[in-house]
Amino acid sequence: MAKILVTGGCGYIGSHTVVDLIQNGYDVISIDNNSRSNPDVLKGVEKITGKAVKNYKVDLCNFDDTHAVFQENPDIEGIIHFAAYKAVGESVEKPLMYYENNLNSLMNVLKCVRDFKIPYFVFSSSCTVYGNPDAIPVTEQTPTKPAESPYGATKQMGEQVLTDFAKVFDFTNIIALRYFNPVGAHPSIEIGELPIGRPQNLFPAITQTAIGKLPKMTVHGADYDTRDGSCLRDFIHVSDISHAHTLAIQFLENHKNTSNYEIFNLGTGNGVTVLEAINAFERVSGEKLNYEIGPRRAGDVIAIYANNDYAVKSLGWDIQYGIDDMMGTAWKWEQKLKAEA
């Protein structure tokens, strides 16, 4: 069993990826300082997989503490790097915090990749690197444009760091996965999204409003150049996203990469507007959502969705979940959280 380190393993996508890795035979450890996550999520991981995952409560911005984890685990073969701040709106308000955290943590992990000659590295990137694209769907060859937020800029900069790293340290094979909008919860409903404070993302805003945690939700702009005026996104189930990370590690292990730095889009290939997503929730849940149309939000891209042909063909990736599954699992997860509160 190859040992894989997942940074941010207590986070939303990280925890689902830990599950998928274990279910595909990997030995997994986590680094997560729990500043934006709940360590109890690993109890859910253990319920699903039957395996307890060790988490090192380490701030990756501290190099010595990070390095110590690698010294204790010299058999790490691959790293999946999720750990980062990720709220677009917050990044607009607190740019220095985002640049400092997201870039320093990445560089400290890469110093350990260099020092311990880790062969496989998968980076959690984002469709925000495309900015407001001139044409959609976007492919991996679509030119990046100025990021709409400091968060997006940290992903662009992270990819540039990896590009330059790969040129020098050819013993490491790197994949950057640009994901679109991960949503939903694990089908077991043992793990799901746990936003800190008021949710910045659409799906928890919808479910928290429907359950009564929030009095109403705001649709940020309905005057965009889209089919109904609201922003258009490529929503993809978190379990589909997480499985792509396992496939990326296997892709590298089997030496299928043609260079030591590759990029893949992870989206469904379908655009769904914010208002269409709300309609889907109302259809699946039978609940009427209390929402209002508000002004545009700084940092939001107007419309984007993926061309995912490269990931489907090269990684053997097969999308399992549709919009109703996304909404259904998200709603069941919210109901479970209320029942346990």
- Contact partners, residue 269, CB within 8 Å, separation at least 6: 137, 234, 305, 306, 307, 308
pLDDT tens, position by position, 48-81: 999 999 999 999 999 999 999 999 999 999 999 9
0.85 cut: is pTM over it? yes
**What is the per-residue pLDDT for 89?**
85
Mean pLDDT to the nearest integer, 318-330: 97
Residue 222 scores a pLDDT above 90: yes
- Architecture of 3-185+235-267 per CATH? 3-Layer(aba) Sandwich (3.40)
Considering 26, 151, 291, 305, which one is annotated as catalytic?
151
- Confidence band for 1, pLDDT divided at 50, 70 and 90: confident
Query: Over the stretch 238-272, which tens digit does the pLDDT of each residue have?
Result: 999 999 999 999 999 999 999 999 999 999 999 99
For the cut 90, the answer to whether the pLDDT of residue 226 exceeds it is yes
The tens digit of pLDDT for each residue in 185-221 reads: 999 999 999 988 888 889 999 999 999 999 999 999 9
State the residue for tokens 């300082």.
33
Distances from the Cα of 140 to the Cαs of 85, 129, 203, in angstroms? 24, 11, 26
pLDDT, one tens digit per residue, over 170-183 is: 999 999 999 999 99
Question: What average pLDDT does the segment 101-120 reach?
Answer: 98
Determine whether 151 is an active site residue: yes
Q: What pLDDT is attached to residue 3?
A: 98
pLDDT of residue 91: 94
Closest CA to 38 of 189, 184, 191, 185: 191
User: Tokens 């040129």 identify what position?
Assistant: 167
Tell me the residue type at 25.
Answer: G
Structure tokens at 55: 């988490």
Distance CA 43, CA 3 (A): 20
Residue 218: both structure tokens together? 């705001």
Q: Are 88 and 151 in contact (CB under 8 A)?
A: yes
The span from the CA of 128 to the CA of 149, in Å, is 8
Q: Is the peptide bond prior to 199 cis by the omega test (within 30 degrees of 0)? A: no
DSSP letters for 204-255? HHHHHHHHTSSS-EEEE-S-SSSSSSS-EE-EEEHHHHHHHHHHHHHHHHTT
Residues 6+ apart with CB under 8 A from 65: 58, 59
Instruction: Calculate mean pLDDT across residues 122-129.
Output: 96
Q: Where are the domains of the chain?
A: 3-185+235-267
